[in-house]
Structure 1
Amino acid sequence: MKATLLVLLGFASFLNASVIYSSYRKDYFYPYSEYKEANLPDPVNGGRFHLVSTADGNGTFESMILNGKTVQFEDGKDPDSWYLDWLHVYPKTVKEGDPLWISFHTRDSSFNKEPNLALVELKTSSGSSLLKGNFTYQLTSCNITYITTDANYSQLFIHVHNDYKDTRTIKTVLVNGADRTNDITNKASLSVPAKASTLLTVPLSPALKPGSLVTVVLEFQGSDPPLGTGLRIAKAHFPIEAYPKSHECPFPTVKDDNYKFHRDHGFDTFFFGQNSAKPCGSSTSGSDIAGKLAPQYSFYCLIQTDIPLTSVANSQNVLAKLLGDEVDSHLDDQLRSLMKTTDSLWEEETEIATYIGGSRSRRNGIFAGLTDIQGMDMYVAACAPHIQEFLNPPPLRGSYDYLRLTRNNHMPLPTWLYSQLLDDGWDAQLDGRIISHRQPNPDEARIQAMSVIAGCGKGLMYFQSEIAENQYYPKTWVEIGNFNHDIGAVREYLREGDCTDMVSSSDGDNADANSITQAIRSPEAILVTVINLKNDGGISDLQCELGKDEHWSISDHTVNKIDITVPSDFGSVVDKFELRNGQISDIPSSMFSYNESVSLGEDYHGNTLMGGTATLSS
């Protein structure tokens, strides 16, 4: 994975200024030859920046000067003329010496040359300086890919991937401006082998809490410049979320049967607004669903912006606010509106995360980083609408490709990624009458759900969860229920872990083009996803337009061998298992060789989840 980050420090002209570390990436996108997103140019200019430093002064941020230009966000301007697409400074109010981070995205071609020097200054409304200094930015192939905490917020996990051809050694780890190198719990993790990942664990005392600021700087031995990045800590939960149909109201005391149906099928998080119970004749407000029912019945909430957190009696189970879905459908002043809403919510409702969904690979990089959590949907079954040119429907692996791209653009922040489920919107209709019920079959639903996991998702979001379609596709609901329960059993590994790309599958003597494999490494386990893509044909846009019930013809496929490179800091693998439909099956030890490369053996069919747990060596 070719990454893109980097940064350097203050220069002689600002000897008294704080050191500014940075990271920089170009936008990831797919070429037109692979995904024909019509009329969207290649996003090759600029990229996203993270800057990390400590404040030089006291006060509240009001304006930023970048390379001599005062950054402005005026409405009504041509987006192609924007200097910066968006900007965040966190926290806005600081005291001298406080850690802070700056994040922004630009499509200005002046940032294409790298490595290059830039000058940034943060000012208060009175014109006093909060931060002023130079930084150098350039692309690199050793990157911080994900940052999170344990469930108690008492350990910080920093995932790093090295895509260079030789080892990189981390000599210094700064967290919120403090040198924590000596506190790293496993010193072996400071060495990052070529084409490999590592996990740095930093104890936190006192523990953090949701909404806490975190800045991380890694300095390397040799000539590599340091990496600097920052984020806000989200609530420690991997949601398995339903985007319900508005008329089904799956909330306890509102529609108990519909609520039970969802919980029986492994859902624990629901999306709703202030009036989501109203279509079912209930006066229960969204505020009460979130603040009273959710804590009482132990489910979690993704809420709309029409529910102020001040109206929620107990907000412990409110994970995030959805500010908009498929917001990248257009590039206009709405983006700046989302930026301002995010800034306000970070100040007023600090404990909950902000979340947006996306749909376009060529705009995803622009929006990634705008909120705490990024979503993406790419549905490949049941004649679902797609954004490719007509007669060019997405391939079966389209879900995985778009979801993984979103993770690459948004890292080191978390992604909650969408999977297609049951919705009468997929049905063929004529004059408002359904003429063909067409929904994802069990194979299609499971492949897309597993793509969320293989795509490094930290939340599994389903669109939609219509119970009424169960009478036509009951096996799909059974399959997804089994899958959700499997994911629920390993969710903490998935939330704490990150993709390593240290796995491959083979079909005989060749790389296997008919499967997707990925390894997700957490502190205690490595989970391996296997997705079968072998098929004899798929969706025709023309047949869909004619109202046909189109499906992928999935073929049986045997993965001959799966090779896993166990990270050098992981320790010894002490247990191996396969998880499928709630059943845990042992993988015979004879299928393993305890070298760096581990073979899981032959005859793994379908879409499955395998794992190994570790004992860390001293």
Structure 2
Amino acid sequence: MLALFVALQSVQAWFAASFRKDAYLDPKLYVEDFAPNPTTGGRVHFLLPFLDNATSSTWPFNLLLNGEAATLDYPTLRLPADVDWARVEADAGARLVWVALHSRAEAFMAGLGQLEVRDASGATVAAAAVRVPSPHAVTLTYVATQKAFRELVVHLQNADAIPHVVTQLHADGQEALGAPLTLAAGEHQVLVVSLPSPKREGQLWTVRAIVDGADLAWGGVHIKELFPFENWPKDDQCPFPASNRTNFDTLAALGIDCSFLRMKECGVSSLVVVEQAAANGYTVLPDEAHSLQEPNYFKPEHYPAIAALFISDEGDKSWSDTARLLNESLRRRRNYPELATYMGGHVNKYTGTFAGITDIMGMDYYVAQCAPHVTGALSPMRIQGTFDYLRVTRENHKPLPVWGYSQSSCADCWTLKDGLNEGEQTSALASVFAAGNKGLMLFMGDVRRADVPGWRAGAALLRSFRAVREALRVGDVMDSALTSSDGVEQSVAVAIQSPTGIVIIVINMNADTYSDITCAAHVGAHWIFHPHTVQRITISLPAGFRLKDVTEFVDGNDQAGTVHYSVVGSALVLTEVELGTANTTRVFWAARE
């Protein structure tokens, strides 16, 4: 076996790789005592070229890791003991293979030196002598397509305090830089790459960057060019035109255009719901029961209506669940290779291990109405909790997208029955967008609460986010490029850069009164928000960014003159940003010339 591997490896010239440790929140702020801190191992992406003599690349692929086999197919999945999950995809046109895997075993990661990929026929497609690199200061934070899959939007972030130089950048094997790109300390750059031919959902994308001599790589699977505003409805509300048109219209007025879908919606088949989607302007997220049907339950004509295939909700009960969820993801990959997969989580210490099993990751953490949550029952509740859990999920899943949950008003879901107040609802919704998530998952949008003030305030805010929806979909968080005069206890301020401008989201977090202790005593109260002013927000503009103007979206309308701003050197500075108590959030748009 070793002699064969050496012979194969000798005909390939390179491999590229990237590695990240698992991110997790401060355990003193978010107490998850049932789980140890995830301090060992991490996730690695490898990119390998096809062997010169490789003529076959048929899915499913199998791996040999230091000679030990990993079978990556449903239902025959088999993984080495130290591997939590692994994925392999190939691009026959570019003759590239992407391998991603996660391991919590330091010794395994340090000792991984031989990698071989075989296709369904047993033929070796790629082989290399590899190593898992150290985390690099320059990373790919996000990739999206635009213009009907004809352009690739690539986000690079330098997290270091010194500049780094990208000398080469390859997108799907094609050189994408005309000249070396210097990333200043903390700089976030967005690049738009024209693709030789349009891609489609389910196909592999790869990015390879040579940074100061380090050969880095990332990959993933294309998803729809979609930023869903999704709702998980109450079981008996069936908010679809075929089952309950009134409820459908109520949620549409809120801004919802995607829904979780069960096999039957008040007696109406899910196929009927899917077939009516295009005419009524919505998409669906079919539940896990659909995977138990025949592989051709959904036909190709149904695919445009399916936002993604649902794997699991809060399936991250323990680290041992990774293989089960990977098996379910492989089942959908086998049955519907053209569709992306989605999985939800709820434990921040586990999200680093689970992130990457599916194409899209989710997370829920609710901080109001005495809703249950994964942290200790008597630990302090923070209004920032929703944002923090969604943001750490983005950190672990990047460069792949996150669709994050926001709590909504529900008449009988939680201890408090009167619905979220305006501040609770708007801060929860805004947290999804500010965390850099690429889809909104509302839980549960109960139509019986459509008349409460929180619902109306949420609808107005969603109209503003809808106005910058495409920029949010193709954009990404600029991370260290933004600084605020505030601490995290008073407000959250985030800048999201897209090819056409920067969305700036500022959320009032100056709230108190709520307590899990009073919830446990069944005398819980709502969060009370207080007016707050952020004195100064500074955004370091990337090289080449020429600012046109800064406006604000209010109830979906673009308004000028409501924001105090100036350009100081290469920085955009916002001052005296006043935040309210009903609509806690302001949404600014810094347009690029």
Deviation per residue, 1:245-281 (Å, 9 max, x gap)? 1111110132111011011111111111221232xxx
Deviation per residue, 1:421-455 (Å, 9 max, x gap)? 02245433xxxxxxx52432110111111111110
Amino acid at match of 2:414: D
Q: Are 1:18 and 1:55, in contact at CA under 8 Å, matched by a contact in 2? A: no
User: Partner of 1:293 in structure 2?
Assistant: 276
Deviation per residue, 1:117-165 (Å, 9 max, x gap)? 6221123566542221122321111100001111421110110100112
Amino acid at match of 2:87: H
User: Partner of 2:340 in structure 1?
Assistant: 353
Deviation at 1:611, TM superposition (A): 1.1
Name the Cα RMSD after superposition.
2.6
Kindly report which structure 2 residues correspond to 1:141-152, keeping only aligned pairs within 5 A, or say none. 141-152=137-148
Q: Are 1:23 and 1:50, in contact at CA under 8 Å, matched by a contact in 2? A: yes
User: Partner of 1:504 in structure 2?
Assistant: 483
Kindly report which structure 2 residues correspond to 1:186-265, keeping only aligned pairs within 5 A, or say none. 190-220=181-211, 222-223=212-213, 225-265=214-254
Q: Are 2:242 and 2:272, in contact at CA under 8 Å, matched by a contact in 1? A: no
- Segments of 5+ residues of structure 2 without an aligned counterpart are none
Residue of 15, 20, 40 corresponding to 2:15: 20
Distance in 2 between the 1:311 and 1:128 partners? 31
Aligned CA distance change for structure 1 residues 289 and 251 (closer, same or farther; 3 Å): same
User: Partner of 1:5 in structure 2?
Assistant: none
Q: Are 1:238 and 1:459, in contact at CA under 8 Å, matched by a contact in 2? A: yes
Deviation at 1:536, TM superposition (A): 3.3
User: Partner of 2:502 in structure 1?
Assistant: 526
More deviation, 373-382/547-556: 547-556
Amino acid at match of 1:504: T
Q: Determine if the alignment matches structure 1 residue 595 to structure 2 residue 569.
A: yes
Q: Are 1:383 and 1:426, in contact at CA under 8 Å, matched by a contact in 2? A: no
Distance in 1 between the 2:376 and 2:522 partners? 19
Aligned CA distance change for structure 1 residues 124 and 427 (closer, same or farther; 3 Å): closer
Q: Determine if the alignment matches structure 1 residue 467 to structure 2 residue 447.
A: yes
Runs of 4 or more consecutive aligned structure 1 residues displaced over 6 Å after TM superposition = 10-13, 72-75
User: Partner of 1:281 in structure 2?
Assistant: none
Distance in 1 between the 2:561 and 2:351 partners? 39
Q: Are 1:354 and 1:372, in contact at CA under 8 Å, matched by a contact in 2? A: yes
Q: Determine if the alignment matches structure 1 residue 440 to structure 2 residue 423.
A: no
Distance in 1 between the 2:238 and 2:138 partners? 46
Residue of 526, 529, 546 corresponding to 1:554: 529
How many residues in Structure 1 have an aligned counterpart in Structure 2? 571
Kindly report which structure 2 residues correspond to 1:170-569, keeping only aligned pairs within 5 A, or say none. 170-182=166-178, 190-220=181-211, 222-223=212-213, 225-278=214-267, 284-290=268-274, 292-307=275-290, 310-312=297-299, 313-332=301-320, 334-428=321-415, 437-470=417-450, 474-501=452-479, 502-507=481-486, 513-539=489-515, 541-569=516-544
User: Partner of 1:577 in structure 2?
Assistant: 551
* Identity score, percent: 28
Aligned CA distance change for structure 1 residues 127 and 265 (closer, same or farther; 3 Å): closer
Distance in 1 between the 2:258 and 2:73 partners? 37
Amino acid at match of 1:322: F
Amino acid at match of 1:397: Q
Deviation per residue, 1:224-247 (Å, 9 max, x gap)? x12101111100010011111111
Distance in 2 between the 1:155 and 1:72 partners? 34
Three-state SS of the structure 1 residue aligned to 2:550 is: strand
Aligned CA distance change for structure 1 residues 523 and 406 (closer, same or farther; 3 Å): same
Amino acid at match of 1:179: E
Aligned CA distance change for structure 1 residues 13 and 130 (closer, same or farther; 3 Å): closer
Distance in 1 between the 2:35 and 2:50 partners? 39
Q: Are 1:483 and 1:581, in contact at CA under 8 Å, matched by a contact in 2? A: yes
Distance in 2 between the 1:159 and 1:603 partners? 28
Q: Determine if the alignment matches structure 1 residue 83 to structure 2 residue 58.
A: no
More deviation, 479-488/242-251: 479-488
User: Partner of 1:41 in structure 2?
Assistant: 36
User: Partner of 1:99 in structure 2?
Assistant: 96
Q: Are 1:18 and 1:53, in contact at CA under 8 Å, matched by a contact in 2? A: no
TM-score (norm: length of structure 2): 0.91
More deviation, 299-308/36-45: 299-308
Deviation at 1:594, TM superposition (A): 4.8
Distance in 1 between the 2:215 and 2:250 partners? 50
TM-score (norm: length of structure 1): 0.87
- Segments of 5+ residues of structure 1 without an aligned counterpart are 1-9, 279-283, 429-435
Q: Are 2:552 and 2:563, in contact at CA under 8 Å, matched by a contact in 1? A: no
Q: Are 2:285 and 2:306, in contact at CA under 8 Å, matched by a contact in 1? A: yes
Q: Determine if the alignment matches structure 1 residue 169 to structure 2 residue 165.
A: yes
Distance in 2 between the 1:547 and 1:609 partners? 36
